[in-house]
Chain A
């Protein structure tokens, strides 16, 4: 027996690390960062992935999270770094974990971690913000008004009370996307809800909703402190142009990475895939 208060076994050392890009789609967008983190820990256990544990009295799995999307926002570009007690093929790990993750959390890419910190390769995010019921013409005018300003401060409620942040200075790009045809290319309802067949009334409602106006923004923001979120961009449009979305907007992070000189985001896992460079 080990002596009082001492863990019976020291934790096995971290011998390898992988980095994973995953998506939060469909109804999973309503999960918080804590929810996703818990689900990921359980999925790793279920899949039998030997995650290394921190040392000490109450060990926890070594997962490092980077810039989680807020509750309510979908994402195609969430990142986590996972410490392993055994080197594993990244592809096999991604496949096995992906098979047991909850609906809507989808593994997109797994690589062995090369040198350097992942956090150093991420300083910006690209978002698509769908605004049902907002006329694209009105949206264009609001965007022009926002871009014309030097600074646009908005208020956000934080745990420590209201806080002001400048949205304008974080904006690298802000555009109104051209209306897409009948159906959005990644309309989340197609993939995540195999649900029952819908009676006519409900089908009508959907058709109607799809044909109704919807302004869609595409934006790239630089990660300032605190990080500007899609809701802050919408607040900024309200501030400069009085734009009021009639229903909650739907935001999807499409990319995260290093901003190059032209405002394009570079995939942070590319360096690991090809550590020597071409």
Chain B
């Protein structure tokens, strides 16, 4: 999306157009069948009142109903709050961890990478049971014991509007960086040593090297992680679904969960399709914005 938008400075190999098409052929076929076709289908459905035995076209009703729906806007707001609170923090943590792992001895590196990767490995469904216990509202819950040491009162973490969203955010902070740490590390290892050598000759400090070499070199990676993390966050639904079901009083109803509910709980598939296309548009605009402002000086 960004590439076509930016002036193409970099060189590309010429005269291999046919190879280019051949190389992307499988990807395109898979995409057309299993992504594009369902999306088009959903697009058509968004103008219908969906019934398995024959839908009826209702024009833009699903869209107008969505725009008038307070719950939809509330869910957008919740999603934004969640995204703003989780994505930057999680990304920064991943970056810091990757940087900190880098100077360690090989053995230690391996250990830490494994350790941080571990949480991603275990299934979300099984782990959500553990998280439910951590947030157990009774005094025996882990978090309640923890804050009890500081003299704080028992909190009804997931059960009260004041803390439910915060609980999900904490969960994201502590469990969502295995993949980004690995991607960051791989990118860090890809930075050419000669840059550092040159900087060392100039007597650059650690922070200067970090600022002038590492951060610019990692920009494509950061952009990738940021875009995919924000997309993921906008579509997030599993944690809310497993932990709070969107409650209490819709305090944690994310738009992804709302769409899921509309599609699979209330059978309003037309409405769900319309809402997800609106969401897709929002995500596209946000991504475009990121590419425009962050991808500007990315040197490929």
**Do A and B belong to a common assembly?**
no
